[in-house]
Amino acid sequence: MKASEVARRLATPLTAPAWAPVRSRFTDREYLNIVYRTDPEALRAVVPEPLEFDEPLVRFEVMKMGDSTSFGPYTESGQVIPVRFGEERGEYLHAMYLDNTAATVAGREISAYPKTAGSPRLFAEAGALVGTLDVGTQRVATGTMGYKHYAMDLDEARAELTLPTYMVKIVPGYEREPRVCELVRTQITDITVKAAWTGPARLQLFQHVLAPLADLPVLEVISASHIVTDLTLSGITPVFDYLRER
Tens-digit pLDDT profile for residues 48-90:
999 999 999 999 999 999 999 989 999 999 999 999 999 999 9
Nearest to 194 by CA among 26, 52, 54: 26
Strand partners, 128: 125, 146
pLDDT (mean) for 98-104? 95
* Side-chain-facing half-sphere of 212: CA atoms under 13 Å: 9
How much is the pLDDT for 36? 98
pTM: 0.95
How much is the pLDDT for 216? 98
Residue 117 has φ and ψ, to the nearest 5°, of -75, 145
The one-character DSSP state at 48 is P
Condensed to tens digits (0 to 9), the pLDDT of residues 191-228 reads 999 999 999 999 999 999 999 999 999 999 999 999 99
pLDDT (mean) for 99-126? 95
Strand partners, 169: 182
CATH of domain 21-241: 2.40.400.10
Task: For strands 57-68 and 74-85, give the pairing.
Answer: antiparallel
Q: Does 2 participate in catalysis according to the annotation? A: no
pLDDT at residue 158 greater than cutoff 90 = yes
- Residue-averaged pLDDT of the chain: 95
Q: Where are the beta strands (DSSP E) in the chain?
A: 25-37, 57-68, 74-85, 88-98, 115-117, 119-125, 128-135, 138-146, 150-151, 165-172, 178-186, 190-198, 201-205, 220-232, 237-241
How much is the pLDDT for 246? 72
What does the alpha-carbon distance between residue 159 and residue 231 come to, in Å, rounded to a whole number?
13
How much is the pLDDT for 18? 86
How would residue 176 be classed by pLDDT, with cut points 50, 70 and 90? Answer: confident
How would residue 8 be classed by pLDDT, with cut points 50, 70 and 90? Answer: confident
**Residue ranges of domains in the chain:** 21-241
**Cβ-based neighbour number of residue 8 at 10 Å:** 7
Query: Which of these is catalytic: 115, 148, 169, 194?
Result: 115
pLDDT (mean) for 229-234? 94
